Structure 1
Amino acid sequence: MDNSQQPGESTDRSDLVSEDGKNVKSVICQCCESKVLSPGSAVFAEKELFLPSMRKKNGLSNAEGSVDGDTLTGHWFVDDMFTFENVGFTNNVGSIKYLVCADCEIGPIGWHCLDDKKSFFIALERVKHV
């Protein structure tokens, strides 16, 4: 898969999203290839979310002041945290918990606001699809 796409760039997602809006392929970690979501378990959603730059889990929860990162718009949405195959959560950063790979703890690959218990987002640009 070509990973040369820049953050925020639009891409043809027809090979990733089914007619009913669900993920066609498995969603896996870019670093260790651990499975995050099974095919058909998430719905494509366009929502602007800021995610800090990728790093180990302990570097995310202690972020203070201005943080480097990207505003991303293409995400896989799930409404139940038990839908994930392998995902970890950072400590609270304000009202946000960032989602990381449960195996290698690299992230954030996604975002969860504590104010909405049924909204979990995985950024398409932070994962691979196989």
Structure 2
Amino acid sequence: MTDEANFADQIENEKNRTNVRCQFCNSLMLKAREASYCEQEVNVPLMVQKKDSKSDSLNTETLHHFWLVEDMMTFENIGFSHTVDGRKFLVCADCERGPVGYHELSTKRCYLSLKRVVHVDA
């Protein structure tokens, strides 16, 4: 089954139908109907990095499905990494796992990956 098919149940009127929580500690990140669905192709570091003593680079994956949050104060619970190439990566503020998305410094918008969180009925 494709990611699009998996995520269709989470989208209602182009918004998140349910609450969005951390997949590791179940912390509430975003309440239902607070973010808009968007698609884009973005490389984001893997949540678990492989140890490679020969390289300082991060292993990444391409993500396509995001919740767009226009104002960072909309989040119930989110943490931010240090700035890397004009972005801050988003992590769970409670367990610090991530990244679950990124914050674009130039636009001040946040993008939360549907693939890296869980959706629970409001």
The aligned amino acid for 1:98 is: F
Which residue pairs with 2:11 in the alignment?
Answer: 17
Where in structure 1 are there 5+ consecutive unaligned residues? 57-63
Structure 1, residues 65-96: CA drift from partner, whole Å, max 9, x if none? 43112110000001000000000000111211
The answer to which structure has the higher strand fraction is 2
Deviation at 1:113, TM superposition (A): 1.7
Which residue pairs with 1:73 in the alignment?
Answer: 64
Q: Tell me the matched-pair count.
A: 114
The aligned amino acid for 2:73 is: F
- 1:55–1:106 CA contact under 8 A, matched in 2: no
Structure 1, residues 14-73: CA drift from partner, whole Å, max 9, x if none? 31000x2000011000100001110000111001111101159xxxxxxx8431121100
- TM, length-normalised to structure 1: 0.81
The aligned amino acid for 2:111 is: F
Q: What is the rounded CA distance, in whole Å, between the counterparts of 1:94 and 1:42 in structure 2?
A: 24
Give 4+ residue runs of structure 1 displaced > 3 Å after superposition.
none
- 1:23–1:44 CA contact under 8 A, matched in 2: yes
- Report 1:20-35 matches (<5 A): 20-35=13-28
Q: What is the rounded CA distance, in whole Å, between the counterparts of 2:8 and 2:84 in structure 1?
A: 34
Which residue pairs with 1:129 in the alignment?
Answer: 119
Q: What is the rounded CA distance, in whole Å, between the counterparts of 2:119 and 2:22 in structure 1?
A: 9
Residue 90 (structure 1) aligned with residue 95 (structure 2): no
- 1:100–1:108 CA contact under 8 A, matched in 2: yes
The aligned amino acid for 1:16 is: Q
* RMSD between superposed Cα atoms in Å: 1.8
